[in-house]
Chains A and B, each alone.
Chain A
Amino acid sequence: MRRVYLDNSATTPVDPRVVEAMLPYLTEKFGNASSVHFYGQEARVALDRARREVAALINARPNELVFLSGGTEANNLAIRGIAEAAIEHGRHIITSQIEHSAVRGVCDALEKRGWEVTHLPVYANGIVRLEDVRAALRPDTVLITVMLANNEIGTIQPVAKIGALVREERERGRKYLWLHTDAVQAAGRMPVDVETLGCDLLSLSAHKLHAPKGAGALYVRRSVRLAPQSIGGHQERERRAGTESVPLLVAFGKAAALAREELSQRIEHLRRLRDQFEIGVEARVADIVYNGDREQRLPHLSNISFRYIEGEGLLINLDMQGVAVSTGSACSSGSLEPSPVIRALGRDDELARGSIRFSLGKDTTEEDIAYVLEVLPRAVENLRRLSPLYQKSLAERACETTPA
């Protein structure tokens, strides 16, 4: 059976060039980067190179990066780190309704501990409005955390505009307000530049960039103070204690270098195949609804609700034919609740439950898309044939077209 992986927003296949770069650090180059001897220094050199590569991907300075285990840890360190360090200056945080659970969860936990959190709405297009951010700002606001691009619908948020707003506030003499953005989905799929964005903190994950799981980074702008969330050794300039995973971080560095070199080709390739996919779906399947703005979004992702059917049934039908996609947020597909992101767009429960995320990767081919376009309409049709909602709609349409 042909297999097509269209779940690159969940994770990406590891690039063979990345595997090659990391392998020596799993075998003969096993040193601890904190050791003074030859083995340690060999690891240190590799780690420094990886740090330069990841920094270059986002136009940061190498010493502004804290290496850690992934996007979730980066978001935890950013949000809790700022909240706890700035506790004397205010306990108000602004975030959006469509953040990844690693941001939403941290904000919820802080709320229980006495912080106040404003959840900015998104509208039918899945994008936060700058005027809402401005209106939500209070004298005791210490942190704004809004993702750069959403993981489920791919919409790109106006982070650069929020960054400009934060700078305006600083020019007016405000000292204790910082901007964090979760760029886990965006990196490698659109240009990410911390200077253009004007953010103070930015989260990255290696496994969304064709490196293995278990590595990530938090960008922390010079002079920003954080309360460390793991304490022990002096690693990562005392912002994240624990021996660095040299092989995983070398892989992250290599993947970042490749993403930077190949960015424009990757974007073009993804957008071309994604658009081809959407045109094909529109021609073959009726009663579909796109979720999220179709212009301001990542090039690799298409989120579609198929009316009258439920997402998990479609997911399993596609899986049985070798096509891997996801429904809801990949992390919460075990839950019976409709996707909170799709609900935030104002969609009803049925559309929220019928949403499927197709996320392409740099290795997706035209043949893959052709195969999905062959399999998907049949799977939708089979499920609709079973659906009492669909049968009802057919009966209603028949009534409408019958002359009185």
Chain B
Amino acid sequence: MPYSESFKDHLAHPRNAGEIADADASAELTNPACGDRLRLTLRIQDGRITAARFLAYGCPPTLACGSALTEMLVGHTPGEAALITRQQLTKSLDGLPARKSHAAALAIETLQEALRARALPDN
């Protein structure tokens, strides 16, 4: 099995699964090629991400990337979070098989979409 121990741990014990009610930022993206889907909701208080939750459908790397990403976000400002790269996410899982790199891309795009949507004026 090409998956790392850290990867399997995220899969067996997903961190921050679920959804934040009345989230301050959220996005749900689908990879049109394979149908993988990721939903991310964030609580932002006093300019920092204080909670992050994810829901995911798709191949195991999509689930593990969702889980690992939520762990990386808490404590950061939205500006800092926007700088997280695919490579950093992949590294936090001790790597992904090349044929599964789309999972990290979907996670980072969903994060950026959530942060962008939040930046839009509400009224």
Contacts and interface: CB of A to CB of B under 8 A. Distances in A.
B23 interface: no
A350 B36 CA distance: 10
B63 interface: yes
Interface string B9-20: 001101001110
Nearest to A354: B57
Given A319-B1, A320-B12, A334-B99, A388 B55 contact: yes
B56 A386 contact: yes
Nearest to A312: B59
Given A308-B57, A309-B57, A319-B1, A391 B19 contact: yes
Contact of A317 (B11, B55, B58): B11
A404 interface: no
A112 to B, nearest CB: 26
Contacts, number: 57
B55 A316 contact: no
Interface in B86-110: 99
Main secondary structure on A side of the interface with B: helix
Given A385-B17, A387-B56, A313 B35 contact: no
A286 interface: no
Interface in A290-315: 308-310, 312-313
A316 B3 contact: yes
A387 B99 contact: no
A317 B14 CA distance: 12
B55 to A, nearest CB: 4
Interface string A317-328: 101100000000
A353 interface: yes
A336 B8 contact: no
B63 A313 contact: yes
A310 B35 CA distance: 10
B28 interface: yes
Nearest to B2: A334
Contacts of B8: 316, 320
Contacts of B120: none
A389 interface: yes
A383 B14 CA distance: 9
A284 B103 CA distance: 31
A5 to B, nearest CB: 15
A312 B60 CA distance: 7
Contacts of A308: 57
A132 interface: no
A116 B66 CA distance: 47
Nearest to A319: B1
A319 B1 CA distance: 10
A349 interface: yes
Contacts of A336: 33-34, 59, 99
Contacts of B38: 388
Interface in A375-389: 382-383, 385-389
Most buried by B among A320, A386, A389: A386
Contacts of B18: 385
A103 to B, nearest CB: 26
A213 B16 CA distance: 45
B31 to A, nearest CB: 10
Contacts of B11: 313, 316-317, 320
A74 B19 CA distance: 53
A298 to B, nearest CB: 28
Contacts of B17: 385-386
A388 B60 contact: no
A332 to B, nearest CB: 13
A343 to B, nearest CB: 13
B12 A391 contact: no
A308 B60 CA distance: 14
B12 A313 contact: no
A386 B55 contact: yes
Nearest to A311: B59
Interface string A152-163: 000000000000
Contacts of B34: 336
Contacts of B19: 391
Given A336-B59, A353-B35, 11 more contacts: A308-B57, A310-B58, A312-B60, A313-B58, A316-B60, A320-B8, A336-B99, A349-B35, A385-B18, A388-B38, A389-B37
11 contacts: A310-B59, A312-B60, A313-B59, A313-B60, A316-B3, A317-B12, A336-B33, A382-B14, A386-B55, A389-B57, A391-B55
Interface of B: 1, 3, 8, 11-12, 14, 17-19, 28, 33-35, 37-39, 54-60, 63, 66, 99
Interface of A: 308-310, 312-313, 316-317, 319-320, 334, 336, 349-350, 353, 382-383, 385-389, 391
The 8 closest A-B pairs by CB, nearest first: A388-B55, A388-B39, A387-B57, A313-B60, A336-B34, A312-B59, A316-B60, A386-B17
